[in-house]
Amino acid sequence: MFVQHLGLLAALFAVAQAKVQYLVGPPFLRGSGKTCPADLKPQGIAIAGIDFGCDIDGTCPVNSGSFPLSGYGGSDGEGQMKHFVTDNGLNMFRLPVSWQYLLHGKSPGDKFDQDAFARYDKLMQACLNTGAYCMIDMHNFARFDGGIIGQGGPTNDQFGDLWSQLATAYASDKKVVFGLMNEPHDLDIKLWSDTCQAAVTAIRKAGADKQMILLPGTNFDSAATLVSTGSAEALLKITNPDGSNDGLLLDIHKYLDENNSGQHAQCTTNNTEAFTELAAYLRKQKRIGMVSETGASSDSSCMTAFCAQNKVINDNSDVYVGLVAWAAGSFGASYVLSLTPTRQGDRWVNNELFSKCVLAPWENSEGGTSSSSTTATATRSATKPDSSSTATVSSATRTPTDNVGQGVATDSKDAPSSATFLKPLTVQATLSQVACLLLGGLIHLLS
């Protein structure tokens, strides 16, 4: 029935395909013929809030969070996610939660508190409904109320049970990603890899046999020290029950301030060397990793360094298969690392840091999409973020070993949500989505 239009369709198809090739499609996905944003190299952002108040000793008071859904006490995380997908083509969100939150007063090894899990699931479903990948982030620093998991604290079996319950719930959701643990630190890495192995086995045995699982190293999962701490070597030995390592990715974090904590406004490193060296290591091992957390402030030093870092990550997308920035969700616009979009009238507006250093390096890379909504930027007022996290940069304190990690400030709700914008904004349609719809329609007609 469409035969007479085939010539025209073929021409249209060629144009659309050229467009899409230009717009999207990292080399490792091109072969698979997947071209729409949801199938791109993951690019995303954390929708934080439940984790507020979690400390690096693994204490996470259940009531100190700010649940990132409207009507649940925090921000409109659902609206933010829809915006990021529709307007910017993002395809991954990281959803922090804590072990304590899921238990709500019960003990490790117990079944989850049903109401608490139902709330987390509401956030998860809001994420899955956007079509994006949705990463569970267990925000406990390898601990539970001070005790290191598998090293004096909860047992590996109890940790396995935690992940078994989650994997059972999401076994059929191929886009759920299991982030085993946020930022382990100060522990025995060999024992920690045993703990992670227990979780991997539990997840696979619960039926989640294909989903990505992220394996985090010590020293706050720092990109700069994953190899030197022995983390990478120990973690990459972990296997699925069938002996393969399919879907098992090295988890990677990094900040750019003086002690890699993400607590200072000033960026003192662009991490290009660390990410280049780690990429070479992964390539040699024939393994891949996910940069599941990195962030910076809107200080001018970060506008340079964060952009430079993220360009290197995107340039090495053969081994860094995704980048998830920290953070939006219930963080206000004045939080030191804020990437939270603001609502202006009936539209969402990204801050300049997000547009310039998260979106642009991705869009300009081979793997990126090209939604034109990068023009929807806002210029922040020149005033620094809240003074409590404003840096006083000491020239002497940057440790050569990069051996201190992210502290609690990224989880503290120290951010009143008011923003000052100086410029009017423009928002345009999302070109890549239009191109994909067009291509999808043509493929449908031709097949």
Ligand X SMILES: *[C@@H]1O[C@H](CO)[C@@H](O)[C@H](O)[C@H]1NC(C)=O
Compute the least distance from the CB of residue 317 to ligand X, in Å: 17
Nearer of residues 126 and 224 to ligand X, judged by Cβ: 224
Q: Is 261 in the site for ligand X (CB under 6 A)?
A: yes
Specify the stretch interacting with ligand X by CB under 6 A; choose among 174-182, 259-267, 292-300, 316-324.
Answer: 259-267
Nearer of residues 189 and 439 to ligand X, judged by Cβ: 189
Q: Is 259 in the site for ligand X (CB under 6 A)?
A: yes
Of the candidates 207, 186, 181, which has an alpha carbon nearest to the alpha carbon of residue 196? 181
Nearer of residues 240 and 260 to ligand X, judged by Cβ: 260
Question: Going by C-beta distance under 8 Å and a sequence separation of 6 or more, which residues neighbour residue 274?
Answer: 222, 223, 224, 254, 402
* Contacting residue, 404, 425, 431, 438, with ligand X by CB under 6 A: 404
Q: Is 267 in the site for ligand X (CB under 6 A)?
A: no
Q: Is 211 in the site for ligand X (CB under 6 A)?
A: no
Nearer of residues 307 and 445 to ligand X, judged by Cβ: 307
Q: Is 407 in the site for ligand X (CB under 6 A)?
A: yes
Q: Is 263 in the site for ligand X (CB under 6 A)?
A: yes
Active site residues: 183, 293
Cis peptide before 132 (omega within 30 of 0): no
Nearer of residues 137 and 315 to ligand X, judged by Cβ: 315
Compute the least distance from the CB of residue 406 to ligand X, in Å: 7
Which helix (H) or strand (E) covers residue 78, if one does? helix 77-88
Contact 338, 384 (CB under 8 A): no
Q: Is 266 in the site for ligand X (CB under 6 A)?
A: no
State the binding string over 270-309 for ligand X (x if CB under 6 A, else -). x-x-----------------------------------x-
Nearer of residues 248 and 358 to ligand X, judged by Cβ: 358
Q: How far is CA 277 from the centre of its chain?
A: 21
Specify the stretch interacting with ligand X by CB under 6 A; choose among 82-90, 157-165, 203-211, 399-407.
Answer: 399-407
Across-strand partners of 147? 144
Residue 277, burial from CB neighbour count under 10 angstroms (0-12, 13-18, 19+): middle
With CB under 6 A, what is the number of residues at the site for ligand X?
9
Residue 358, burial from CB neighbour count under 10 angstroms (0-12, 13-18, 19+): buried
Specify the stretch interacting with ligand X by CB under 6 A; choose among 146-154, 167-175, 255-263, 351-359.
Answer: 255-263
Of the candidates 249, 304, 307, 310, which has an alpha carbon nearest to the alpha carbon of residue 275? 310
Specify the stretch interacting with ligand X by CB under 6 A; choose among 39-47, 78-86, 258-266, 433-441.
Answer: 258-266
Q: What whole-number distance in Å separates Cα of residue 129 and Cα of residue 344?
A: 24
- Strands, DSSP E only, in 305-385? 320-329, 342-344, 347-351, 377-378
Q: What whole-number distance in Å separates Cα of residue 61 and Cα of residue 89?
A: 34
In 3-state terms, what secondary structure has residue 92? strand
Q: Is 369 in the site for ligand X (CB under 6 A)?
A: no
Give the residues lining the site for ligand X (CB under 6 A). 259, 261, 263, 270, 272, 308, 404-405, 407
